[in-house]
Structures are given as C-alpha cells and as structure tokens.
Chain A
Amino acid sequence: MSELQKRQIQLEVLRYNPETDTAPRYQTYSVPCLEEWVVLDALNYIKDHLDPTLSYRWSCHMAVCGSCGMMVNGEPKLACKAFIHEYKEGQIKVEPIANFPIERDLVTSVEDFITKLASVKPYLIPKEDKPVSAGEFKQTPAELKKFKQYTLCINCMLCYAACPQYALVPEFLGPAAISMAHRYNQDSRDGGRDQRQEVIASDEGVWECSFVGACSEVCPKHVDPAGALQQVKVASTIDWYKEHLMPWMKK
C-alpha cells in the first residue's frame, strides 16, 4: 500500500470580523494537505491546528446538507466536493459564497434565500383533501420521474452565487426557489400551481431570468435549475395566451 501523498497548499481565505473590520481581507494559511482531501478538510485542519477563530459552515461532509457552499478559486463549489488534487497550482482562494452578505469569514447571511424559498410554497398542496382512511395518493413511476431531478436540490445556494441576474437584481426570486416551485407544480398529487404562479410568474420571478445557464453549470446535484426556469416560462406563456386569446377556456 502506497504512503499517502502530502502536499503543502497555500489557502488564501477571505476573512471578515464584523466587530473589528470595515472590509474583508485575505489571510493565507499553509496547510499540509493529503491529495485525497477536499477543501473542507483543509479548512478543518486550519480550525484544528492553525487558527481556531476561522468561521465557516459545514455539517455532513458528503454533499447532502448543502451548508459548505463557498467560492473556490472564484467558482461556486461545495467545499466538501472540491478535491485538493484538482487544484494543481498549490494555491487555492476560498471566499464566502458570492451574492450574499458576509456575516463573518466564510459565513454568509442566507435570509434572503430562505424568505424567497418559503414564498413559493415548496410543499405539497393536495388537489383535494381526503381523510387518511381513504388511502394514499398514488403516483406512477412516470409521474415521479417528471419531477424527481428537482427533488435533489439541497438548498446550497451555489446557483444564486453563479447567477449574474441575482447579483444585479437582488429582488430576483432566483434559480433554486423557482425550481422548487416547478418541482411541486410538476407533481401529479399537487394542486397548488395557481397559488405559486402569483409569485413565480411575476417580473421579479421567472421573467427576470435571461437564461445565462450558470446555475445549472455549478449545481452539485445536477438539478438543472435553468431548465426548470425555462419550462416555467413556457408554461406561463401558454397561460397568458389561454387567458387573452381564449378567455372562455376557464380552468
């Protein structure tokens, strides 16, 4: 068995202390990294051995919790999925996830996203209430497949960090929230589309999207938010034509 390879990596970390700093600054740490490590391991090494004051969020270390989203060399990444061996230069720049206010070091304020996500009612709104005794809401494999990919979203907000539209127009509802609305709209058991349309089919909803496609490129779970948003646009356009050209076709 070969001995594990160690490589000295210079980790340039953006730091910000709201109590003492007026602006963020970079601090460089020299970290002896194993090639098998991810950036999160390097941050944990810093926290444990070099500088206990460094703040960042993480939980699962397996790309499930969505907590450790950061900018790694300017690219939105999960720190637990950004492998050290992919960064040959020996220098890695780590910054807080873009487009969100920095609370401290690599920790950002996520309130804007949480508020927007809640506004699209990201839960099943059954078409009709029925008692538990009436049995389960059945769904075919084809009906499940229609939305399954969108259920993989882990709310890591990398799509918001990649979206230039969100950067320029902070009111934009954004990729993950609209994708989640689309996920429930596509669900055969759901009847809440009309309620969600008021929010997502607005100017600050899906029509703020200009299909840059960056969200889908950076999504660590291959949710393809850009695809979801274009489908919402198509469906909303059809709604508009139905309403204006065929007003007698009430839903």
Chain B
Amino acid sequence: MNSKPYVREVSKTTWFLSHPRYKRYMAREVTCIFIFAYTFLLIVALARLSQGEEAFNAFVQALRSPLGVLFNVAALIAAVYHSMSWFDVTPQAMPIQMGEEFVAGNIIVNAHYGAWAVVSLIILFWGM
C-alpha cells in the first residue's frame, strides 16, 4: 500500500494554550514553584536559626517586610489551590470498595477536607 501519513506537529512550548483544561492543568503545576520556594524558605529559616538568635530575628524581621508578606500570601494561595485540585481527584486515585459498592466520591473528598481542617486547627492552636 502506498501511504504517506501526515503528522501534525504539536508545539512543545505553547501546547497548553490550545484548551482550557490544559491551562487548568498548567495552573496546578505552576503552584509547585511556590511550594518549592516555600520549602526553600524553611531551609533558610533553619540555617538562620543555627546561626543564633540575632540571625534568626533578622530573618523573621525580613519576613515581615511587604515583600515577605506578599510572598507568603502568594504561597498560601498557591498551596490551597494545589491541595484542593488534588483533593478533588482523590476518589479517582484511591477508590474505596465496601462490600459490593464503591464509597461515593464526595465522601472521600470531604474526608480529606475534614482531615485538613483538623490538622490546620491543631497546628494553629499548638503554635499559639
């Protein structure tokens, strides 16, 4: 058979602009940058702490600057979006079968939100 199939090229850099669902996916992926940056910030905090009280206080002072607050707010929003986007798909990754039936997806999702709330409250009160 004489065949000459035509291959449509996909742009390696702009493919995600072609559909809203790909943009949503990229939004979720981009939040990782903030998670990474925040993790890095925690490591810096540890390093400062090891250098003594003065260094650590200077670090805390820097965090209170407008830029520090802005970064923390941005990181918080990114982390919340990141977490929610994963919570919403947990029933797909972790289906639970009880007897014959599968547990309804919203129960699994809500359980995650519930656990999140409990852990957040514990950390909040423990830290105060």
- A residues contacting B by CB (< 8 A) are 16, 18-19, 21, 23-24, 74, 98-99, 101-103, 108-109, 140-142, 145-146, 164, 167-168, 210-214, 216-217, 224, 226-227, 230-231, 233-234
Measured CB to CB, the closest approach of chain A to B17, in angstroms, equals 11
Measured CB to CB, the closest approach of chain B to A141, in angstroms, equals 5
A-chain residues with CB within 8 Å of residue B16 when the two chains form the complex? 164
Within 8 A of A (CB), among B81-125: 89, 91-95, 97, 99-102
Distance in angstroms between the alpha carbons of A146 and B4 in the assembled complex: 43
Can you spell out 28 A-B residue pairs with CB atoms less than 8 angstroms apart?
A: A18-B6, A19-B4, A24-B6, A74-B19, A101-B5, A102-B8, A142-B97, A145-B97, A145-B102, A164-B10, A164-B15, A164-B16, A164-B22, A164-B25, A210-B29, A212-B21, A212-B22, A214-B19, A214-B21, A214-B22, A214-B25, A227-B91, A227-B93, A230-B92, A231-B93, A231-B94, A231-B95, A233-B93
B-chain residues with CB within 8 Å of residue A231 when the two chains form the complex? 93-95
Distance in angstroms between the alpha carbons of A21 and B5 in the assembled complex: 11
Of B4, B19, B25, B102, most buried by chain A (CB within 10 Å of CB) is B4
- B residues contacting A by CB (< 8 A) are 2-8, 10, 12, 15-16, 18-19, 21-22, 25, 29, 89, 91-95, 97, 99-102
Measured CB to CB, the closest approach of chain A to B28, in angstroms, equals 9
Minimal Cβ-Cβ distance residue in B for A212:
B25
B-chain residues with CB within 8 Å of residue A19 when the two chains form the complex? 2, 4
Minimal Cβ-Cβ distance residue in B for A232:
B93
Distance in angstroms between the alpha carbons of A211 and B101 in the assembled complex: 25
Measured CB to CB, the closest approach of chain A to B100, in angstroms, equals 4
A234-B25 in contact given A101-B7, A141-B100, A164-B16 (Cβ < 8 Å): no
Q: Are A103 and B92 in contact (CB under 8 A)?
A: no
Closest 7 CB pairs of A and B: A227-B92, A101-B5, A230-B93, A18-B4, A142-B100, A102-B6, A167-B10
